[in-house]
C-alpha cells in the first residue's frame, strides 16, 4: 500500500512533500480544502498528524537506508533529532510572529538570533547532522526558505548559512516539487 499524504494549505506541506521526494517512495498526495487544515500521513495502518511527527517517521522508517537520516543511537542521530525539533520550536515562532505583526522589531531580533545559531553551527561542518545532507537540513532549510521568501526576513550576517542553504535547495528532490507546484 502506498503512502497517502493529506496535505493542507499550510507551510508544512512542502516540508513533507520534499521528504517524500527525497526518500523516493510511492505516495498519493490528496489535497484538502482550505477549511480542513489537518496535515496527515497514512503509512499502512499507521496515521501521523503534524509535520514534525511525519518527518521523523519518514526519516526513521525510510531515510536511514537511503542515508537521509542517521542511524538510531549515533551522535548524528541526536543532532538530527535536535535540529528537526529546534526548527519547529525555536525557528518558526519569530517567523510566524513577523508574518502576523508585519515589521516587528522583536521578531526580527529573534530571527537574527535563530540565524546566528545555525550560522555558528555550520562554521565547522558542511551539514547540520554530519558530513552529508539529512532530514535535519531539510527541516531547517525549509524554515530558512519560508522565512526569506514568504516572511521577507533576511540572512544578512549568515556567511555559513547562505552556501549551505544554496546546496540544500539545489537538491533534485526539491527541484521536482518546485517544478510541479
Does 13 score more than 90 pLDDT?
no
In the block, residue with C-alpha cell 522589531: 105
- The C-alpha atoms of residue 60 and residue 6 are separated, in whole angstroms, by 20
> 119: helix, coil or strand?
helix
Query: 119 and 160 in contact (C-beta within 8 Å)?
Result: yes
pTM: 0.93
- pLDDT value at residue 35: 60
Burial of 1 from C-beta contacts in 10 A (0-12 / 13-18 / 19+):
exposed
- Domains of the chain (ranges; CATH) run 3-67+173-180 (3.40.30.10), 75-171 (1.20.1050.10)
Mean pLDDT of the chain: 91
Amino acid at each position: 500500500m502506498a503512502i497517502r499524504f493529506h496535505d493542507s494549505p499550510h507551510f508544512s506541506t512542502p516540508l513533507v512533500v520534499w521528504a517524500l521526494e527525497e526518500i523516493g517512495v510511492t505516495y498519493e498526495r490528496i489535497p484538502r480544502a482550505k477549511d480542513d487544515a489537518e496535515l496527515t500521513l497514512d503509512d499502512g495502518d499507521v496515521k501521523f498528524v503534524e509535520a514534525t511527527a511525519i518527518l521523523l517517521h519518514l526519516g526513521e522508517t525510510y531515510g536511514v537506508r537511503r542515508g537521509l537520516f542517521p542511524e538510531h543511537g549515533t551522535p548524528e542521530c541526536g543532532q538530527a533529532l535536535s535540529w528537526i525539533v529546534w526548527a519547529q520550536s525555536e525557528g518558526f515562532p519569530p517567523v510566524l510572529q513577523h508574518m502576523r505583526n508585519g515589521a516587528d522589531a522583536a521578531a526580527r531580533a529573534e530571527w537574527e538570533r535563530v540565524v546566528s545559531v545555525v550560522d555558528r553551527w555550520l562554521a565547522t561542518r558542511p551539514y547540520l547532522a554530519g558530513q552529508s545532507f539529512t532530514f535535519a537540513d531539510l527541516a531547517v532549510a525549509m524554515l530558512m526558505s519560508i522565512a526569506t521568501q514568504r516572511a521577507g526576513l533576511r540572512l544578512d550576517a549568515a556567511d555559513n548559512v547562505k552556501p549551505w542553504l544554496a546546496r540544500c535547495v539545489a537538491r533534485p528532490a526539491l527541484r521536482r516539487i518546485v517544478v510541479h507546484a
